[in-house]
Structure 1
Amino acid sequence: MDEPQEDARSHAVFRAQAITKVYRNGAVEVYALRGVDLDLYEGELAVLLGPSGSGKSTLLNILGGLDVPSSGHAFYRDWELTSAGEAELTRYRRHHVGFVFQFYNLIPSLTARENVAVVTEIAERPMTPEEALGLVGLEGRLDHFPAQLSGGEQQRVAIARAIAKNPAVLLCDEPTGALDSQTGIRVLEALQRVNRELGTSTAVITHNAAIARMADRVVRIHDGTIGSIEVNEAKLEPAELSW
């Protein structure tokens, strides 16, 4: 996977073409995605908005190489994910994609610094754990264990862990779903800072419509299809959001 020569917002980092995902339970077929076409661009912060069960997590998992579609094609830049083998997808996830989930998945017996180092030790061009934790405002909590951190701080450690390998893209699945509004805003500020300062292409999926107001673009997903795509002409800062 060669890096492109140019890095501009007008270039697609992801392209989904006619993506369908069907889950089968005996004779029953459940369509999670129904012919989805979508481009996500270099350097943008996109919010994929939709209710639970709309297919947004399935789409993100396909783009992140965690799942494969039943039909259609998905590309990361000029590389086709949907024709890749498992070893190739593993390398892709390891070197190009950072994941942030609703639940932090930190190792309880490791400090914040050590949780981030788990990733930096296997990355090709990592930043230091101290740099990553500083980017999310936790430079004073390096040697605290997860049990000594609040929920929002734990989620920011998870973000630091995801960005420490310098991924080209950051895929976030309900990153504020387990947090109250004030704490969630701190997490969104961390994601925004990573997007702005590192230029990391960032996709955030959520059912919370308020979060859409900080995005460059809002992709509305309903019943496995793209309902609309809107450009935010007047974005809000995370601190201006409320829910």
Structure 2
Amino acid sequence: MEPGTAAMAEPPVFHTRGLTKTYDQGEIQVFALRGVDLDLYRGELVVMLGASGSGKSTLLNILGGLDVPTSGEVRYRDIDLSAAGDRELTRYRREHVGFVFQFYNLIPSLTARENVAAVTEIASDPMLPEEALELVGLKARIDHFPAQLSGGEQQRVAIARAIAKRPEVLLCDEPTGALDSATGVLVLEALEKANRETGTTTVIITHNASIAGMGDRVITLSDGNISGERRNDQRQDPRTLSW
């Protein structure tokens, strides 16, 4: 049974209804989200597809507690994120969410092990940094500094850092956007393995439709709306992807 399938019978991890986000640009109001209804379930790997400006990053930032909606409801389990204040959102991010961004945001003066340890030292039930780095295939590079690592290796350190605190949710914003296809596949393998072995609900947002096959579900966004959704019968091995 694919990860996430059994959990579909449970209450969703994320529940959004009528989610909107608007920005004022002078006298013009720009709609980033236009009433999004979405449920995400424990342990599933979801690929969110959309062109630049489709609203996918805005949606990810709201799910991650980095932004708040203009209107509508967004809940993480029993936490109403749409009504949460800054302190509650900070606690939510620290305790429940791991982030992976397009650019790695590693600390240049710290080794791979030390970059991961910077997170595990403030987590309540972390993995050992060595365990997290082994999970993403970097056991042999553990004492290297970011400048001694390739772009793909740096991104895998960033994934290890995100999963080392054992988050219930892993949110990935264009994690292969700065990488070539062969390197990007290694990063996607690391994300798939982390999802499979830790049971973390994983969302990967991308403009790259080639990645869609590796998800349990594929959700397409367009102009601030969910324009399509499908469930893959079987997850595609990231090693078979190319773009």
TM-score of the superposed pair, with normalisation by structure 1: 0.96
Which residue identity lines up with residue 205 of structure 2 in the other structure?
I
Displacement after TM superposition at 1:8 (Å): 2.6
The whole-number CA distance in structure 1 between the counterparts of 2:165 and 2:235 is 28
The whole-number CA distance in structure 1 between the counterparts of 2:39 and 2:174 is 20
Percent sequence identity is: 70
Whether 1:8 aligns to 2:14 is: no
Count of paired positions: 237
Q: Which residue of 2 aligns with 1:129?
A: 129
Q: Which residue of 1 aligns with 2:63?
A: 63
Which residue identity lines up with residue 60 of structure 2 in the other structure?
L
The whole-number CA distance in structure 1 between the counterparts of 2:237 and 2:121 is 34
Q: Deviations over 1:127-146 (max 9, x none)?
A: 11001101000011110000
Whether 1:193 aligns to 2:196 is: no
Q: Deviations over 1:162-220 (max 9, x none)?
A: 00000001000000000000000000000000110000100000000000011000000
Displacement after TM superposition at 1:78 (Å): 2.0
The whole-number CA distance in structure 2 between the counterparts of 1:214 and 1:208 is 12
Q: Confirm or deny: 8 A CA contact 1:185 1:241 kept in the other structure.
A: yes
Displacement after TM superposition at 1:77 (Å): 1.1
Q: Which residue of 1 aligns with 2:177?
A: 177
Whether 1:141 aligns to 2:152 is: no
The whole-number CA distance in structure 1 between the counterparts of 2:118 and 2:242 is 34
Runs of 4+ in 1 over 3 A off after TM superposition: none
Which residue identity lines up with residue 169 of structure 1 in the other structure?
V
32-41 or 78-87: bigger deviation? 78-87
Which residue identity lines up with residue 8 of structure 1 in the other structure?
A
2:118 partner SS: helix
The whole-number CA distance in structure 1 between the counterparts of 2:8 and 2:172 is 19
Displacement after TM superposition at 1:235 (Å): 2.4
Which ranges of structure 2 fall in alignment gaps of 5 or more residues?
1-5
Q: Which residue of 2 aligns with 1:168?
A: 168
Q: Which residue of 1 aligns with 2:3?
A: none
The whole-number CA distance in structure 2 between the counterparts of 1:67 and 1:162 is 19
Whether 1:72 aligns to 2:72 is: yes
Q: Which residue of 2 aligns with 1:4?
A: none
1:94 partner SS: helix
The whole-number CA distance in structure 2 between the counterparts of 1:196 and 1:105 is 25
Displacement after TM superposition at 1:89 (Å): 0.5
Q: Which residue of 1 aligns with 2:50?
A: 50
Which residue identity lines up with residue 158 of structure 2 in the other structure?
A
Q: Which residue of 1 aligns with 2:157?
A: 157
Whether 1:116 aligns to 2:137 is: no
The whole-number CA distance in structure 2 between the counterparts of 1:121 and 1:78 is 27
2:9 partner SS: coil
Q: Which residue of 2 aligns with 1:39?
A: 39
Displacement after TM superposition at 1:236 (Å): 1.1
Q: Deviations over 1:43-75 (max 9, x none)?
A: 000000000110000000000000000000100
The whole-number CA distance in structure 2 between the counterparts of 1:85 and 1:20 is 18
Which residue identity lines up with residue 79 of structure 1 in the other structure?
I
Q: Deviations over 1:220-242 (max 9, x none)?
A: 00000000110001321000111
Which residue identity lines up with residue 170 of structure 2 in the other structure?
L
Which residue identity lines up with residue 9 of structure 2 in the other structure?
S
The whole-number CA distance in structure 1 between the counterparts of 2:7 and 2:58 is 27
The whole-number CA distance in structure 1 between the counterparts of 2:195 and 2:148 is 28
Q: Which residue of 2 aligns with 1:93?
A: 93
2:167 partner SS: coil
The whole-number CA distance in structure 2 between the counterparts of 1:242 and 1:9 is 30
Which residue identity lines up with residue 88 of structure 1 in the other structure?
E
1:152 partner SS: helix
Which ranges of structure 1 fall in alignment gaps of 5 or more residues?
1-6
Q: Deviations over 1:71-121 (max 9, x none)?
A: 001000121111111111101100100000000000000000000011001
Which residue identity lines up with residue 169 of structure 2 in the other structure?
V
